[in-house]
Amino acid sequence: MSLSRKPAARPPAAPPHKIRIIGGRFKRTPIPVLDLPGLRPTPDRVRETLFNWLNHFWDGDFAGRRVLDAFAGSGALGLEAASRGAGEVVMIEHDRRAAAALQALCDRLGASGVRIVAGDALRAVPALGGRFDLALLDPPFGHDWLARILPALQPALAADALVYIEAEHAVEPPPWLTLLRQERAGAVYAHLFRSAAI
């Protein structure tokens, strides 16, 4: 007589050690993913969707665009923008090891239009100066970052700037953001908004 056994629980999936840039001049460049708490690289499918959206609204023209990646992590989002020809990409990362890894990768690529800022996004954004055409917000889940960062972000945006938000739930935006696109991929909700001029 055989005993029934419960199926063994699967261990949680480990994040990939490397992901790749999916488009532009740095296409197929591997990006190392450090084993850090809360680090969750945007999946390829979601990045592809986002940049399809951006290509639509900008007619594929990233030249001269100023881009902010406020929670850079692995750097996947900001590096995709740089790869497609963004004029300047500012990437903020609070973890010093992740920031150092991003700087080393940008140096290796010769990505001179990318600036890495090691620090806290809430403090760094108001100090950056200038206005951004695109803000990429992919904060660690479960820490209520969006409620804190959006008020600090609004004055840093150009008129009609685009704001991408990745979250663990559908986002209810403040009145100054208008939803353009939204998609769910597994546990990730991706949103693209347009900001009102202030």
Domain of 91: which CATH number? 3.40.50.150
What range defines the domain where residue 109 resides? 40-195
Nearest-angstrom CA–CA distance, 104 and 132: 24
Is residue 154 a part of any domain in this protein?
Answer: yes
Per-residue confidence (pLDDT) for residue 144, from 0 to 100:
83
The pLDDT score that the predictor gives to residue 143 is 74
Q: Tell me which residues of the chain have a pLDDT lower than 50.
A: 1-16
H or E stretch including 69? strand 66-69
Place of tokens 């499918």: 45
- Look at residue 39 in the predicted model and tell me its pLDDT: 64
pLDDT digits (tens, 9 = 90+) for 151-161: 999 999 999 99
d(CA 186, CA 40): 13
Q: How far apart are the first and last CA of the chain?
A: 75
Looking at the structure of the chain, the number of domains it has is 1
d(CA 188, CA 181): 14
> The whole model's pTM is what?
0.87
